[in-house]
Amino acid sequence: MTQNSASKLLNGDTVHRTKQDKKAGGNGFVKNHCLFQQKRYRRPAEKNHHASCTSLYKKPFVESFEETPLLVAVLTYMGYGILTIFGYLRDFLRDWKFEKCHLAREREEQKDFVPLYQDFENFYTRNLYMRIRDNWNRPIRSVPGAKMDLVERVTPDYNWTFEHTGKVLKDVINMGSYNYLGFAENTGTCADAASECAVKYGVGVCSSRQETGNLDKHEELEKLVARFLGVESSMVFGMGFATNSMNIPALMGKGCLILSDELNHASLVLGARLSGATIRVFKHNNMQSLEKLLRDAIVHGQPRIHRPWKKILILVEGIYSMEGSIVRLPEIIALKKKYKAYLYLDEAHSIGALGPRGSGVVDYFGLDPCDVDIMMGTFTKSFGAAGGYIGGKKVCSQFYCQWRITLDYYTHTHKNHTCWFESGLLPERLCQLSENTTYFRRRLHEMGFIIYGNNDSPVVPLMLYMPAKIGAFGREMLKRNIGTVVVGFPATPIIESRARFCVSAAHTREMFISFHMFLNAICVIGDLALCFRRSNA
């Protein structure tokens, strides 16, 4: 971190103070350097914010989002500028057939049609993403556990196509899978229970649940999920993405208002759009921004007619997978109660990964699950399975049953999901995950790397900033047998490219040697200036 840069610290109570005691940034975040030294969080110095005036947090809530240093920002924009100029040059060469063109193009005989493919639309994909495409979609040949086997590929045409060499990269340390509890395994109690279940029930039901696809296993799982979440009832669906995109339209429609966090997942965004409701976006985890929208919604009602909104729904996630931040749930619940709005919480990344019982952010903050109207989550992350759920009051499930799109037109699978809850492995793995997360974050911080997110989040983004570093970092890590996920624009803001690590309970004590190897490898790469380090580290 440079002297001028500062962390944006969300410490449970919003303090309008920066390092120099100037006013806070536009997003209401506090800027502060300390990440791990922060022992206690402060009381608010001013009372011009609302939900956080009383003590809503029972323990320190420390998040760090360091501002991009000015020089790095300038160099990053320059990097994108150079890539864009070269992109235009190469497009010109392709147009004049000096360079082979691999793009989807209209055929000669279609030239009188309105073009189906807009030439400029995928400029970014063909000229920037294609240069580093080898870092994504790598085929694997094992379970995505703490270690995995990667299929080796080569490209004869600069990443437009890939060929398998037939070789396998063995035992690559997997820092990219959402395998928080380490259930991505093909041996052990859960794997055995799942295979037994597959033998008994087959691998699919070949029908929607409203017809002949409803199994006793589905109902058993629904009861178990409801118990685990501490809610009256739950419903399970075959796919997490569809759980959001198909169920939000069941709740919301014309004349309703959705207030959505700017960093919400695509499935939530799609669900909100499909619902036909009016959507307003608030700044990420920013309570002032949310409260302003809520207040305006109540005061002004619907545009033009000024009638009250039929319903107002706040859409948030538990852990944001690109930032590693945790939703400020106590404040959101306080706001939702104050303005009588509903709350939809997507726990895809937090279920199983947070809280003393592992039941997500509600558990983490020690809140009452009844304060969240719709709890949504998936089995694809912590539980190493497939599908999603919706939990809440009984009437909520009955309502979904009546709406029925996901039930009537969706063919369900059924894997034996119950085994993860019943295996008794959860407490032990939760503990391991929390230990690993703390250790992993602390080591990276001590080594001087700039990391984002909440201290308790197993998602750990490490900032790379510049576009050229995205590909180089991924490749260098793989050379050292470490599989990582690198992310850039448009998944992140343009100057905030990053590597994103996911800590798992499967990275056990016995694997700390590998961890050290991994940290060491990052250090070496760091010395090559692939990652940005604090100047005072």
Considering the rule CB under 6 A, would residue 418 count as an interface residue with ligand PLP? Answer: no
What's the rounded Cα separation, in Å, for the pair 166 and 163?
9
Least distance in angstroms from the C-beta of 415 to ligand PLP: 13
361 is a site residue for ligand PLP (CB under 6 A): no
Distance between CA 203 and CA 190 in Å, rounded? Answer: 16
Q: Which of 286, 350, 378, 418 binds ligand PLP (CB under 6 A)?
A: 378
Query: Of 133-141, 203-211, 330-338, 341-349, which segment contacts ligand PLP by CB under 6 A?
Result: 341-349
Exactly one of 238, 388, 453, 526 binds ligand PLP (CB under 6 A); which one?
A: 388
Among residues 170, 175, 177, 165, which one has the least CA distance to residue 148?
Answer: 170
State the number of binding residues for ligand PLP (CB under 6 A): 14
Let me know the angle formed at the C-alpha of 229 by 224 and 230, rounded to the nearest 5 degrees: 95
Q: Are strands 7-10 and 30-32 parallel, antiparallel or unpaired?
A: antiparallel
- With binding defined as CB under 6 A, does residue 460 bind ligand PLP? no
Establish how many alpha carbons lie within 13 A of residue 48's alpha carbon, considering only the half-sphere containing its beta carbon.
8
What residue has token string 């093909």? 186
Q: Which stretch binds ligand PLP (CB under 6 A): 48-56, 64-72, 192-200, 345-353?
A: 345-353
Residue with Cβ nearer ligand PLP (322 or 425): 322
CB under 6 A: which stretch of 36-44, 105-113, 346-354, 432-440 binds ligand PLP?
Answer: 346-354
In this structure, what are the phi and psi dihedrals at residue 55, rounded to the nearest 5 degrees?
Answer: -80, 95
Among the residue ranges 65-73, 130-138, 235-243, 270-278, the one whose residues contact ligand PLP (CB under 6 A): 235-243
Enter the DSSP assignment of 117.
Answer: S
Query: In the bound complex, which residue of the shown chain has the CB atom lying closest to ligand PLP?
Result: 240
Interface residue with ligand PLP among 13, 222, 291, 317 (CB under 6 A) is 317
- Which of 7, 14, 260, 267 lies at the binding interface for ligand PLP (CB under 6 A)? 267
Taking the least distance from each CB to ligand PLP, the nearer of 158 and 409 is: 409
What are the distances in angstroms from CA 94 to CA 130, 132, 408?
15, 19, 48
Q: What ranges make up the beta strands (E) of 238-296?
A: 257-261, 278-282
Cis peptide before 490 (omega within 30 of 0): yes
Residue 244 binds ligand PLP, judged by CB under 6 A: yes
Gap between the Cα atoms of 356 and 431, Å rounded: 8
Q: Does 380 sit near ligand PLP (CB under 6 A)?
A: yes
Query: Are 309 and 301 spatial neighbours (Cβ–Cβ below 8 Å)?
Result: yes
Name the one range near ligand PLP by CB under 6 A: 220-228, 238-246, 447-455, 510-518: 238-246
Structure tokens at 512: 């700390």
Sheet holding 485-487, edge to edge: 459-465, 497-502, 485-487
Q: How far apart are CA 120 and CA 288, in angstroms?
A: 38
DSSP string, 48-79: --STTSS---SS---EE-PPPPHHHHHHHHHH
Identified binder of ligand PLP from the candidate list 239, 326, 345, 531, rule CB under 6 A = 239
Q: Is 485 in the site for ligand PLP (CB under 6 A)?
A: no
CB 346 to ligand PLP: min, Å: 5
- Which of these segments, 226-234, 240-248, 305-313, 397-405, binds ligand PLP (CB under 6 A)? 240-248
For position 459 contacting ligand PLP by CB under 6 A, the verdict is no
User: For ligand PLP, which residue of 50, 265, 283, 469 counts as binding (CB under 6 A)?
Assistant: 265
Decide if residue 348 touches ligand PLP (CB under 6 A).
yes
344 binds ligand PLP (CB under 6 A): no
**What tokens does 6 get?**
């500062």
Residues that bind ligand PLP (CB under 6 A): 239-241, 244, 265, 267, 317, 321, 346, 348-349, 378, 380, 388
